[in-house]
Amino acid sequence: MSIRPRQPSGARLAGLVAMVLAGPALAQEQPRWLAGDHHVHSRFSATYAPHPADPEALPVPTLGGDGPHTIVQNGIMAARYGLSWMVSTDHGGPRHSEMNYTLAYPELLQARERTPGLILFYGMELDTPGSEHSSLIIPVHDGEREMLRTIESTWGSREPWPVDSSNDTRPAMLEMLSTLDGYSPRPIVIANHPSRSAEGVGVWGEHDAGSLRDWHDAAPRVSIGMEGAPGHQATSLKPEGERGIYRRSPTMGGFDQMTATLGGVWDAMLGEGRRWWITATSDSHRNHSEGGDDFWPGEYSKTWVMARPAADGVLEGLRAGQIFAATGDLVTQMDVSVEAEGRSAVMGGELVVAKGGEATVVIRLRDPADLNSAGLDAAVKRVDLIVGDVTGPVADRMSDTNASTRVEHRFAEADWTREGEVLTMRRTLTVDGPIYLRVRVTGGDELEPSLDPAGENPWGDLWAYGNPVFVSVRD
């Protein structure tokens, strides 16, 4: 990463905090890039111990056992680090749905009062039936409290007491997703740290390409994607810490291998034409300043959504794939459009062009002049335009590669124009068949992200990934 020393102005950060604390009076209804985090834990991610008098009785929860912060504290820190939206996502245990209902929800309401300009969603990190964790985002509405209790009590794999694992199956997860697809308003589910349980590169654990395809097929408006960059990135500030606590198979540039591998799982799904999006989160439990493994929400990773500054606007933007994921504030704006024949499409969208015709990709990035939360000025060093063919559904549900994926062009500083903080670059392509295009940005020199060594300083290895634009053809 190239670092340009300068004195922190703090003006931009102060302005963001002021807007969040002031509330909706300062909000404007026009869509804009809103930074957020859909995976944040509070003291209600409890730990459980056997009942001291009766080992057959309901285990005793310890609030703060897996992280000490209140939801109010998390909201305040999210605002401090420039977030416009956040999801409170505690994972469960025996009868945890009642803890969420009776204790966590009132505290969430207090947090909304404390930071009224922060769009704060009720949700949880679901103990997913038959698989790894997932973020469950409940739409803001009058029935949100009851909706979460119903979902967790019915499908949370750690919820039953006495323990009953008969529902901890992949078919149960598909049943849940199909049911949620019929809800109004409709929740969102995002697969968390998808390769954390992998045993090696391409040696999958609890999440695999087949399970993700099954989720998406069951409810494409609910199961919309996966964490491209997992949380726990501050772990590697410790001498032997692994970024993301990926102890079996490391992250790559801080991103999960399913996202970071060129032509890997993400590209395999995009090559089917799936609208499968990636995000970045903190997975905040305990901050690194307190001896923990985590950054505060927004301190290091951000999920940026093009949305109206309202709860339903954020969910609309997430479902539409108008998202990019960035670490270390490498970029704070990523506008990607594909233009042809007087029409255009943006991330998450689709443009139809004549077969053999030309399409121009226009990329605009904001490379912020302000220092990031580590006191560094993270400079964009290279921008990659990645292209893959769209060939439709595959016969092998476990297929985890897309051999057509390639780096169409690598933009260096000489290839873009700069106007203040905004970098603009263009590339014209001849389109002979259906494709998708996506953008990857780095502040370093690696042509492809490599496996992250233990103890790597995460601030020196920053990346940003945009979601795809699809281009189809007509004869």
Domain boundaries, the chain: 2-474
pTM: 0.94
Q: What is the arithmetic mean of pLDDT over 255-264? A: 98
Q: What is the arithmetic mean of pLDDT over 440-463? A: 98
Q: Which amino acid is at 229?
A: A
pLDDT at 18 over 70: no
Q: What is the arithmetic mean of pLDDT over 265-280? A: 98
- For 182-194, how does the pLDDT look when each residue is reduced to its tens digit (9 = 90+)? 999 999 999 999 9
Query: 8 falls in which pLDDT band (50, 70, 90)?
Result: very low
Q: Tell me, what's the pLDDT at 29?
A: 84
Query: 39 falls in which pLDDT band (50, 70, 90)?
Result: very high
Q: What is the arithmetic mean of pLDDT over 123-134? A: 97
What topology is assigned to 2-474 in CATH?
TIM Barrel (3.20.20)
Instruction: Give the whole-angstrom CA distance, residue 212 versus residue 201.
Output: 17
With pLDDT > 90 as the criterion, what percentage of the chain qualifies? 93
CB 350 within 8 A of CB 471: yes
Of 235, 236, 233, which Cα lies nearest the Cα of 255?
233
Q: Tell me, what's the pLDDT at 314?
A: 98
Q: Tell me, what's the pLDDT at 6?
A: 35
- For 210-229, how does the pLDDT look when each residue is reduced to its tens digit (9 = 90+)? 999 999 999 999 999 999 99
**Choice between 18 and 417, residue whose per-residue pLDDT is larger:** 417
pLDDT at 411 over 50: yes
Q: What is the arithmetic mean of pLDDT over 88-97? A: 97
Q: Tell me, what's the pLDDT at 3?
A: 30
pLDDT at 75 over 70: yes
Q: What is the arithmetic mean of pLDDT over 114-118? A: 96
Q: Tell me, what's the pLDDT at 310?
A: 98
- For 300-333, how does the pLDDT look when each residue is reduced to its tens digit (9 = 90+)? 999 999 999 999 999 999 999 999 999 999 999 9
Q: Tell me, what's the pLDDT at 182?
A: 98
Q: Inter-axis angle of helices 11-22 and 71-80, to 10 degrees?
A: 140
Q: Tell me, what's the pLDDT at 28?
A: 60
Q: Tell me, what's the pLDDT at 30?
A: 93
Q: Tell me, what's the pLDDT at 21?
A: 52
With pLDDT > 70 as the criterion, what percentage of the chain qualifies? 94
